[in-house]
């Protein structure tokens, strides 16, 4: 759980998540890269971290990689923590 929170607890990574929140369809890395003003290599690494924690899902589409949010799963994990904390 700490790893998930750490993944979400970085400003640019959370920005990527918020950006994906607004997208009904998967987005490629170049598009996502624009929302946080960092190099594409940096966005790539951030997205990799998010993928490792199951926050985003990657779908290969030719030479592009389309990212989308694992909405239900992430929401469920956050709610589980909230429930545990509320006791």
Q: Which residues bind DNA (CB under 7 A)?
A: 6, 10-13, 28-30, 33, 37-49, 58, 60, 62-65
**Contacts (CB under 8 A) with a copy of itself, residues 22-81:** 69, 71-72, 74-76, 78-79, 81
Number of residues that bind a copy of itself (CB under 8 A): 30
Question: Distances in Å between the alpha carbon of 2 and those of 19, 31, 70?
Answer: 23, 29, 18
Report the nearest approach of DNA to the CB of residue 71 (Å).
20
């Amino acid at each position: 759980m700490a790893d998930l929170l750490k993944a979400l607890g970085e400003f640019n990574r959370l920005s990527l998540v918020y950006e994906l929140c607004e997208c009904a369809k998967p987005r490629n890395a170049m598009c996502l890269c624009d929302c946080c003003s960092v190099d594409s290599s940096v966005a790539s690494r951030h997205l990799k971290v998010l993928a490792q924690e199951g926050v985003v899902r990657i779908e290969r589409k030719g030479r592009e990689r389309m990212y989308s949010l694992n909405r239900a799963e992430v929401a469920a994990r956050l709610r589980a923590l909230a429930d545990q904390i509320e006791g």
